[in-house]
């Protein structure tokens, strides 16, 4: 009976802290693997561009000022999703 509060704390800690982080990391990996040439992206540092080449761990993006080679992990999933979302027209 003395261990029940400790087990409960570990369970709460797992479901509130560890599990959501694992799910977020899985979504990032899936997003990185789904990238293809021609996709519009925004990097985590705020650079806008279009993917021109893909490597195993790197990408080449074409910007207004030229081409940049970056790591796939430097692409922001959230900002790129907003950029590629269809615009909502309000009347």
What's the pTM value of the predicted model, to 2 decimals?
0.68
pLDDT of residue 86: 63
Nearest to 45 by CA among 2, 14, 10, 75: 75
Q: How confident is the model at residue 87 (pLDDT cuts 50, 70, 90)?
A: low
Residues 55-64: tens digit of each pLDDT: 988 999 999 9
Bin 66: left if φ > 0, else alpha if -120 < ψ < 50, else beta. left
Residues 5-54: tens digit of each pLDDT: 999 999 998 989 999 999 999 998 898 888 889 989 999 899 999 999 99
């Amino acid at each position: 009976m003395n261990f029940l509060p400790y087990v409960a704390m570990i369970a709460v800690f797992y479901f509130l802290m560890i599990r959501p982080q694992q799910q977020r990391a899985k979504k990032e990996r899936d997003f990185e693997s789904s990238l293809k040439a021609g996709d519009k992206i925004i990097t985590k540092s705020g650079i806008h561009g279009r993917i021109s080449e893909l490597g195993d761990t790197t990408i080449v993006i074409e910007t207004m000022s030229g081409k940049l080679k970056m790591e796939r992990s430097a692409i922001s999933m959230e900002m790129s999703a907003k950029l590629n979302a269809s615009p909502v027209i309000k009347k």
